[in-house]
Amino acid sequence: DAGVIQSPRHEVTEMGQEVTLRCKPISGHNSLFWYRQTMMRGLELLIYFNNNVPIDDSGMPEDRFSAKMPNASFSTLKIQPSEPRDSAVYFCASSLVASYNEQFFGPGTRLTVL
């Protein structure tokens, strides 16, 4: 298995632009997570899905952020409009449904908003 796949690996954009991050979870996993990591705040859980359904989006910072999971093999995290404070590394992770199951992280997308 190729593991969790994220694209793009790096994204540089200007303030106000729309940004879409993509994730393909490990085949067979039915939980998917979006995280944000910064030096100041560390890793933060933004949202997670079970069986394609959003379960908890309380970590999503504001309405500019939205996430979708149209099917079991694809998810997007969209920021519209982007702001410089959104600059961070965004990770996607997947696991089997159970609170104790291991989460497998993708390589991350480094987002820079100028």
Partner 1 sequence: KNQVEQSPQSLIILEGKNCTLQCNYTVSPFSNLRWYKQDTGRGPVSLTIMTFSENTKSNGRYTATLDADTKQSSLHITASQLSDSASYICVVSASRNYGGSQGNLIFGKGTKLSVKP
- In terms of DSSP bridges, do strands 53-56 and 42-50 run parallel, antiparallel, or are they unpaired? antiparallel
33 contacts partner 1 (rule: CB under 8 A): yes
Least distance in Å: CB of 94 to partner 1?
A: 11
Candidates 1, 2, 70, 98; binder of partner 1 (CB under 8 A) is: 98
Candidates 65, 86, 106, 113; binder of partner 1 (CB under 8 A) is: 106
DSSP for 34-73, written as a single string: EEEEETTTEEEEEEEEETTEEEE-TT--STTEEEEEEETT
Say how far apart CA 93 and CA 99 lie, in whole Å. 14
- Asked if 60 and 47 touch (Cβ cutoff 8 Å), the reply is yes
Q: Toward partner 1, which CB reaches closer, 45 or 76?
A: 45
Binding site for partner 1 (CB under 8 A): 4, 31, 33, 41-45, 48, 50-51, 55-56, 91, 93, 95, 97-100, 102-108
